[in-house]
Structure 1
């Protein structure tokens, strides 16, 4: 017997085309369109008003050789990514593992840890000012210190990363907690029967099953680290040690001296960095599966 194929009515086709068409149109107009436009504009010297002048790779050369804030921003973004990936994300996983044990008041702990996630990074930046300010900050008042946490360029990047990590921990925790709830309890029981302790059972049995969750967390971590803008802009407009690539893009495109071509070149560098980390990890992941 042949396989029967479903025939779609004209109404079904119209609904499918309309639904997919709207989604594709929004995606292209809001994501891929601006992305391709930035790539093209990065090779121009356009200021947003005058004629577009093609300059090739001159903007990238100027970034590397004649624009000191660029390398400071690259360093800070890499530090941001390392902190979220090596400190905040593992701590979020640790919190998820603890809450998965059905602790008493676990709902209260979940709510307390997840609350920062509903706050925007701009609000987190204002909270950081209340905590770290040298004049009225809670930290100096409690410890009796007189450290200028936000004004000292050798310190402020670290304390602001802690503030951003505070929000990131709750986000990662809730994702891993959902993944842990989906793990088959029989796997843990089999590991216990084989004599594995809790640590061995987690890293040998449970954690490998969280590979799809790990991919999601990696993508979120990279995006959160490289798109960070609100928190440093709320603190000191991303200056004096808090330079980030996203801040440089904003300053050059919508700042007083609009240099759309130059700012687009910085945006392209940011795009390449984010895609580089994600593609490298996914390539390694697919290679292991094969």
Structure 2
């Protein structure tokens, strides 16, 4: 009778359960990996192989080919005419190519302009539209429309706006059709600013959408806590809300840098990146396509642009991975 009472206690039940559990083993140890069938292997191979093949053919293949051609001289026609050039192409670009350093300056100007005008303008639009004003959805659609258009089409639209004789801007200034009319795209002293305005029109809408998403994701209790502490609207935004959107801020900084480096469509539509609109991307095309093509120089320019573009991308990825490890 005593034995039955002892066995009936929780301790005894646990003692009996322990050997049973030990005999069965832990679920993780006993779990068997299901062997893939031939059908699974085929499906996985297709899902992994096709994207990998596309990446190799369209991205990594041309990239490696450009790196190789940047150390060679070639007319672009006869494969047997490829000759090793060492670093001569890079020396020519940095020392003797007259359009290179102006193009670098224009890319830096593009970055600064987007950074201090385009990005803050997008942030301002996002803050205004986050106030739940009437017709907010309509305004979002209006400001986001340029993002859905290609930069080439945007260049065409702004050509109509900046046209010297019949453009809307000169018409508003009252100089259309007169000798005082400004040739906004033809004058090398002002065309870079005209192109930057066109690029900002699109960039601001893109930044607006990203910041709107960031503002929607901010914890409402942060605003309430700031209001209880007596913070004004501006203090709440700059000291609480804006720092809370740090991941969005990092993404937008990287996007702004990349947009300034890969700017091409607008200036190429205007005047093929010449006469005051030289950019690194335009120089690449000028040397790789057309009658005056210099494949080695164009490839070296592409490699330089690739290296410059990778810097913000690598920096962003390193910060992201470090943050994940700390978490």
5+ residue gaps, structure 1: none
2:154·2:198 contact (CA, 8 Å) conserved in 1? yes
Q: Which residue, out of 181, 200, 214, partners 2:235?
A: 200
2:44 corresponds to 1:9: no
Which residue does the alignment assign to 1:85?
115
The corresponding residue for 1:63 is 93
Q: Which residue of 1 aligns with 2:223?
A: 188
Distance 2:229 2:45 in 1: 54
Residue of structure 2 in register with 1:18 after alignment? 46
Q: Which runs of 5+ in 2 are unaligned?
A: 1-25, 176-180
After TM superposition, the structure 1 stretch with the greater mean CA deviation from structure 2, 270-279 or 163-172, is 270-279
Among 186, 203, 211, the alignment partner of 1:176 is: 211
1:215/1:27 CA distance change after superposition, 3 Å: farther
- Structure 2 equivalent of residue 42 of structure 1: 70
Query: In the alignment, is residue 32 of structure 1 matched against residue 60 of structure 2?
Result: yes
Contact 2:104/2:279 (<8 A) preserved: yes
- Partners of 1:257 and 1:85 lie apart in 2 by 35
- Compute the TM-score of the two structures, normalised by the length of structure 1: 0.92
The match for 2:296 is: 261
1:147 corresponds to: 182
Larger Rg: 2
Q: 1:89 to 1:5 in 2, by over 3 A?
A: farther
Equivalent positions of 1:121-270 (< 5 A) are 121-145=151-175, 146-270=181-305
Residue from 120, 138, 146 that aligns with 1:108 = 138
Cα separation, 2, equivalents of 1:57 and 1:86 = 37
CA distance in 1, matches of 2:166, 2:35: 67
The CA deviation at 1:116 is 0.9
Native 8 Å contact 2:254 2:316 kept in 1: no
Higher relative contact order, chain-length normalized (CA < 8 Å, sep 6+): 1
Shift of 1:241: 0.2
- Determine if contact 1:222/1:278 at 8 Å carries over to the other structure: no
TM-score (norm: length of structure 2): 0.82
Does the residue aligned with 2:59 lie in a helix, a strand or coil?
helix
Following superposition, the deviation at residue 275 of structure 1 comes to 1.7
Summarize the Cα distance change of 1:203–1:5 in structure 2 as closer, same or farther, 3 Å threshold.
farther
Decide whether aligned partners of structure 1 residues 196 and 282 sit closer, same or farther in structure 2, where only a CA change above 3 A counts: farther
Deviation of 1:8 (Å):
5.2
* Secondary structure in 2 matching 1:68: coil
What's the RMSD between the two structures over aligned residues? 2.1
Q: Is the 8 A contact 1:218 1:278 kept in 2?
A: no
Distance 1:222 1:140 in 2: 32
Q: Which moved more, 1:182-191 or 1:149-158?
A: 182-191
**How far apart, in 1, do the equivalents of 2:171 and 2:35 lie?**
69
**Residue 280 of structure 1: how far off its partner (Å):** 4.5
